Chain A
Amino acid sequence: MSSVLYDTPGPRAKRRNILYSVVFLVAAAAVAWWVLSQLSDKNQLDWEKWKPFFTDSRSWTTYLWPGLENTLKAAAISMVIALPLGAFFGIARLSDHLSVRIPSTAVVEFFRAIPVLILMIFANAAYSQFSNLSSDERPLYAVVTGLVLYNSSVLAEVVRSGIQALPKGQSEAAYAIGLRKGQTMRSILLPQSVTAMLPAIVSQLVVILKDTALGSIITYPELLAAIRPMSAAYGANTIACFTIVAVIYVIVNFTLTTFASWLEKRLRRGKKSTGAVLSAAPTPDGAAV
């Protein structure tokens, strides 16, 4: 293990590292001990409260799976709608015509500037006032609307930078052999940039998945919202429910994140590609910079 930032540890540095490790371990153990003893004081570690997740399959079939299904459903629908919409706006922003470029830039920048939660609250209220959706369907529509509005503008930026990341020679060569702008975009730039954008798109899926949890605030019955009826049914094991739900989120999202960075590495190694690969590195709102 070597790094440019520090020398390979000699005997003294090794001793010091061990000292730091021990100090950190002691501190971490102290915190953990305090948390656990507080929790057990408050009866939160009672087997009663955790048992349902391990011995009662109904806790999964009645509460957690349906919640997770709704989470995945909202995320998948949003992604499927947001991707083409994002591609459209991303390409529109690259247009040579001011009349196309300016409105699309305005739309993208506007929806990137507004919190998803605000968009969801608005969509939920708007659907209940101006539409005929039933109360079961409305929250899903509102969640998807919020996510699509926001994420299509983020994906527009991904698409735009994906296309811009291609070497200039690609489009120049295309023009040189007589292709038109539309043809260049369709048959030269887009196919190549799609592979370049894949990691960033998969990471954006993680962002969408996490944001579906905001749906619980507007009463969409997703995974986080499953906690309330579940803890009411199992005698207020709120902490246990929260922990299980958090673990589920981490597992699902970690799988996606790992897939994204595997994809990125894979693409960067690939010899045939143009070498332009958009990073899967996440920002809190997923906007590729």
Chain B
Amino acid sequence: MFDFLEGYDLLGAFWVTVQLTALSAVGSLIWGTLLAGMRVGPVPLLRGFGTAYVNVVRNIPLVVIIVFTSLGLYQTLGVSLGSDIVNTTNFRLAVLGLVAYTSAFVCEALRSGINTVPVGQAEAARALGLSFGQVLTLVVLPQAFRSVVGPLTSVLIALTKNTTVASAIGVAEAAALMKDMIENEAQLILISAVFAFGFVCLTLPTGLILGWVGKKAAVKR
């Protein structure tokens, strides 16, 4: 029944999906935190930049961003991200595009997390003489992160699904393989079921595990 899978590297394709997800998740967590720092920080120019970045990026479709990394950055500006192999470059460009896009949502989630930290915490920290950087990294962010595990999980799950868009620039991940298989094999329903199952396997456990972590981590107030 599943002999149509023969000759296709199904696991390999999903492995690419997982890699895209993991690398982009780390990247957008870092860049998203920096953006959130800028948006709540004391320097007006950086605040403006953070706001503008978030408002522009989250209003552009992800496909546009991903295709732009390939056509704009790579093909036109010659940014190959340190690789001479087309497939590697495409993979890295896709990660870059996903990070650029997802970090806007990480930033917004974190900012709402920062708002849940009681004012007294930051006031006490300032009263101790801590600088903005110290207030943020030592007092506010650790608490904020614990309260936004839930929203960040949604972002992570969305990211997992969004990696399919990387097929637009020829990254051989799951959606690209699915399209390929549908064109060459007859069992449309079965093929789709296999890929749907693959994504359910990736996203549902993520949601369940992190949901549990979120409950554990939340600051009881």
Chain A residues 87 to 109 lying within 8 A of chain B, measured CB to CB, are: 109
Supposing A4-B119, A5-B135, A44-B76 touch, asked if A253 and B59 sit within 8 A by C-beta, the answer is: yes
Q: Is A60 engaged at the interface, CB distance under 8 Å to the other chain? A: no
A129 and B188 contacting across the interface, CB-CB below 8 Å: yes
A126 CA to B179 CA, complexed, in Å: 12
B43 at the interface (CB under 8 A from A): yes
Interface contact A210-B62, CB-CB below 8 Å: yes
User: Which residues in A have their C-beta under 8 angstroms from that of B64?
Assistant: 213, 224, 242, 245-246, 249
Contact A283:B158 (CB < 8 A) given known A25-B45, A114-B199, A125-B188: yes
Verify if B218 is at the interface (C-beta below 8 Å from A). Answer: no
Chain B residue with the shortest CB-CB distance to A256: B59
Instruction: Give 7 nearest A-B pairs by CB, closest first.
Output: A213-B61, A253-B59, A284-B158, A115-B161, A285-B158, A6-B132, A210-B61
B161 in contact with A216 (CB, 8 Å): no
Are A114 and B161 CB-contacts (below 8 A) given A6-B132, A206-B59, A210-B61?
A: yes
Out of B40, B41, B157, B165, which one reaches A285, CB within 8 Å? B157
Closest residue of chain A to B156, judged by CB? A284
Specify which of A1, A6, A38 lies most central, judged by the most chain B CB atoms within 10 Å of its CB: A6
A residues lining the B interface (CB < 8 Å): 1, 3-7, 9, 13, 17, 20-21, 24-25, 28, 35, 38-39, 42, 44, 109-110, 112-118, 121-122, 125-126, 129, 206, 210-214, 216-217, 224, 238-239, 242, 245-246, 249-250, 253-254, 257, 279, 281-285, 287, 289
Nearest CB of A to B205, in Å: 10
Query: Are the C-beta atoms of A246 and B68 separated by less than 8 Å?
Result: yes
For residue B204, CB closer than 8 A to chain A, the reply is yes
Q: In the complex, how many angstroms separate the beta carbon of B16 from the nearest chain A beta carbon?
A: 14
In angstroms, Cα B58 to Cα A117, docked, is 18
Given A113-B203, A117-B164, A242-B64, decide whether A285 and B154 contact each other with a Cβ distance below 8 A. Answer: yes
Taken together as a complex, chains A and B put the C-alpha atoms of A11 and B182 apart, in Å, by 66
A102 and B78 CA atoms in complex are apart in Å by 53
Which of A20, A125, A210, A242 is B68 in contact with, Cβ under 8 Å? Answer: A242
Q: Give A178 Cβ to nearest chain B Cβ, in Å.
A: 38
By secondary structure, the A interface counts as: helix
Contact indicator B105/A283 (Cβ below 8 Å): yes
Q: Among A112, A250, A257, A289, which residue has its beta carbon within 8 angstroms of that of B151? A: A289
Q: How far is the CA of A113 from the CA of B203 in the complex (A)?
A: 6
Given known pairs A213-B63, A284-B155, the reply for A42 and B76 (CB within 8 Å) is yes
CB-defined contacts of A24 to chain B, threshold 8 Å: 43, 45-46, 49
> Assuming A121-B182, A282-B58, A285-B158, is B63 touching A114 (CB within 8 A)?
no
Contact A5 B71 (CB under 8 A): no
Highest count of chain B CB atoms <10 Å: which of A25, A118, A213: A118
Residues of chain B from 93 to 133 with CB closer than 8 A to chain A in the complex:
101-102, 105, 108-109, 112, 114, 119, 122-123, 126, 131-132
Which residues in A have their C-beta under 8 angstroms from that of B40? 3, 5
Q: Which chain B residues numbered 31 to 84 have a C-beta less than 8 Å away from chain A?
A: 40-46, 49, 55-56, 58-64, 67-68, 71-72, 76-78
Contact assessment for B63 and A224 in the assembled complex, using a CB-CB cutoff below 8 Å: yes
B154 touches A287 (CB 8 A): yes
With both chains docked as a complex, state the minimum distance between the C-beta of B39 and any C-beta of chain A, in angstroms: 11
Determine the chain A residues whose CB is within 8 A of the CB of B71 once the complex forms.
238-239, 242
Please indicate the chain B residues that have their CB under 8 angstroms from the CB of A245 in the complex.
64
Which of B60, B78, B140, B188 is within 8 Å of A246, CB to CB?
B60
In the bound assembly, the distance between CA atoms of A116 and B49 in angstroms comes to 31
Structural contact, B60 and A250, CB atoms closer than 8 A? yes
CA distance A48 to B165 in the complex (A): 32
Q: A114-B196, A216-B63 are known contacts; what are 20 more A-B pairs with Cβ within 8 Å? A: A3-B40, A39-B76, A42-B77, A109-B204, A125-B182, A210-B59, A213-B64, A217-B167, A224-B61, A242-B64, A246-B64, A246-B68, A249-B59, A249-B64, A250-B60, A279-B112, A284-B102, A284-B154, A285-B154, A285-B158
- A118-B192, A242-B71 are contacts. A6–B126 as well, Cβ < 8 Å? yes
Check A5 against B140 for contact (C-beta < 8 Å). yes
CA–CA, A4 and B167, complex, Å: 44
* Chain A minimum-CB-distance residue to B195: A118
- Scoring B45, B55, B62 by chain A CB atoms within 10 A of each residue's CB, the highest score goes to B45
Q: Which residues of A contact B20 (CB under 8 A)?
A: none
- The CA of A116 and the CA of B158, in the complex, are separated in Å by 10
Determine the distance from Cα of A214 to Cα of B126 in the docked complex, in whole angstroms: 48
The reply to whether B109 and A115 form a contact with Cβ atoms under 8 Å apart is no
Chain B residues contacting A1 (CB-CB under 8 Å) are 44
